[in-house]
């Protein structure tokens, strides 16, 4: 299916990524951030935070009744995490594709989970799964002032007057 983007800004999306403790502990922060940057996604928010029980119970509400919920919650609290807001055309899908499926053992090489995880739980990153959940999740982790809007580099920015 070919989509003609008449008005690009209609398809611009923001999505939430969390670099989980598995990324922090294994020194994969630069590697993962670099992949998103090189792909062409724009970083519009980024900070390190410790996740409280309350925020994790909200964020993983769909898993709250599972027997392994406490294990997941604990694993998200062993170190602080880095939360990122990424912007781009269809950014939610682009980031999910780069992330790969939940189980690192089933994720294709080339995806973040496929390249760096052999686990279901310790799977390096969280990424919003739809534009609707991205909107909710960005609000959960960022204030309005922490999400930035700035021009991308153009020829003029790169070369100024030389």
If binding is defined by CB under 6 A, does position 123 make contact with ligand UDP? yes
130 binds ligand UDP (CB under 6 A): no
> What are 61's two structure tokens?
């509400």
97 binds ligand UDP (CB under 6 A): no
- Closest to 100 measured CA to CA, from 127, 75, 70: 127
Q: Does residue 126 have an active-site annotation?
A: yes
Min dist CB 160 to ligand UDP, Å, is 43
Residue 126 lies near ligand UDP (rule: CB under 6 A): yes
DSSP per-residue string spanning 117-134: ---SS--SEEE-SSHHHH
Closest approach, Cβ 145 to ligand UDP, in A, equals 27
**Coil, helix or strand for 60?**
coil
Strand partners, 117: none
Q: Name the site residues for ligand UDP (rule: CB under 6 A).
A: 60, 63, 68, 72, 102, 120-121, 123, 126, 129
């Amino acid at each position: 299916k070919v989509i003609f983007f008449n008005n690009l800004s209609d398809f611009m999306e923001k999505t939430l990524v969390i670099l989980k403790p598995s990324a922090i502990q294994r020194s994969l922060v630069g590697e993962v951030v670099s992949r998103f940057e090189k792909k062409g996604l724009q970083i519009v928010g980024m900070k390190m935070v410790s996740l409280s029980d309350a925020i994790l119970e909200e964020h993983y509400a769909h898993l709250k009744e599972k027997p392994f919920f406490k294990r997941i919650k604990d694993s998200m609290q062993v170190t602080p995490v880095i939360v990122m807001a990424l912007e781009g055309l269809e950014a939610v899908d682009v980031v999910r594709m780069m992330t790969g499926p939940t189980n690192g053992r089933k994720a294709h090489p080339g995806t973040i989970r496929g390249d760096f995880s052999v686990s279901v739980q310790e799977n390096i990153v969280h990424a919003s799964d739809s534009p609707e959940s991205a909107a909710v999740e960005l609000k959960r982790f960022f204030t309005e002032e922490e999400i930035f809007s700035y021009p991308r580099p153009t020829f003029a920015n790169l070369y100024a007057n030389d």
